[in-house]
Amino acid sequence: MQISVWTASGERRGAVRRRCLDPLEPASEPELRVVTSRFASVSQSPKKWIAFGVAVAVVLALDILSKSLAEAHLPLGEYREVLPFLGLERTMNTGVAFGLLAGRPVLILVARGLALTVVLAYLFIETRPLLSGIAAGLLVGGSVGNIVDQIGRGYVTDFLKLPWWPNFNVADVFIVAGVGLLLVSLVLTWRKAEESARTESSSDPPSEDTTA
């Protein structure tokens, strides 16, 4: 969009191009270079990848340790109450989280692969390095933990039990937490876009009729 600039005598001095939120207006080459540069700097941020790596490592360690303890100390199918709303009951889950897609290993691997692809794409796109690194790390760590279990044993060890809820494990808990953080980041991004749009709209000068 262009805004004509006029002198007091009515002489047109030229046109000043300003940034516009209209998605139909193509961005200029300098604008594209700025956006690309910012995207690359965020994608390559050490903070993002450190947070991602630490989250994956912590989730995998806790998942492997908890499953090993459950295998060693919980007889299959035996229920032990820990709290009024939480118990321990080891089961063999041949599906995905909460027993979904049980008995369909190929479909399970395809679904997990697609989910990991989406998470990694989010990791590259999200501009908040710490939030995106932790959220993606929780999701990837939990998913990889269950994939390793599924491939190595043919089933996933579940041992946490809530009333009226299918059995699950530590990896599932972290996956749910990662999804929650991802939703938070999407809400923050939406709110930031709304605020930017309002700021841009309020800062627009009144349009002038240049046909007179």
Q: Quick one: which of 61, 67, 53 has its CA closest to 140?
A: 53
Q: Hey, what are 27's tokens?
A: 């961005």
Residues in the chain where the model's pLDDT stays below 70: 1-44, 95-105, 203-212
Residue 172 appears among annotated catalytic residues: yes
Segment 165-192, tens digit of pLDDT: 888 999 999 999 999 998 998 888 888 8
Q: Which residue has the tokens 């961005």?
A: 27
Q: Give the three-class secondary structure for 70.
A: helix
Residue 158 appears among annotated catalytic residues: yes
Q: Hey, what are 56's tokens?
A: 């994956």
Segment 28-37, tens digit of pLDDT: 555 445 444 4
- The active-site residue out of 22, 63, 149, 172 is 172
- The active-site residue out of 22, 149, 158, 204 is 158
CA gap 94, 103 in Å, rounded: 6
Whole-number pLDDT of residue 139: 93
Identity of the residue numbered 193: A
- The secondary structure element, H or E, covering residue 122 is helix 105-125
Identity of the residue numbered 54: V
Please name the residues in contact with 140: beta carbons below 8 A apart, sequence gap of 6 or more: 52, 56, 116, 119, 120
Q: Give the three-class secondary structure for 86.
A: strand
The model carries a pTM of 0.68
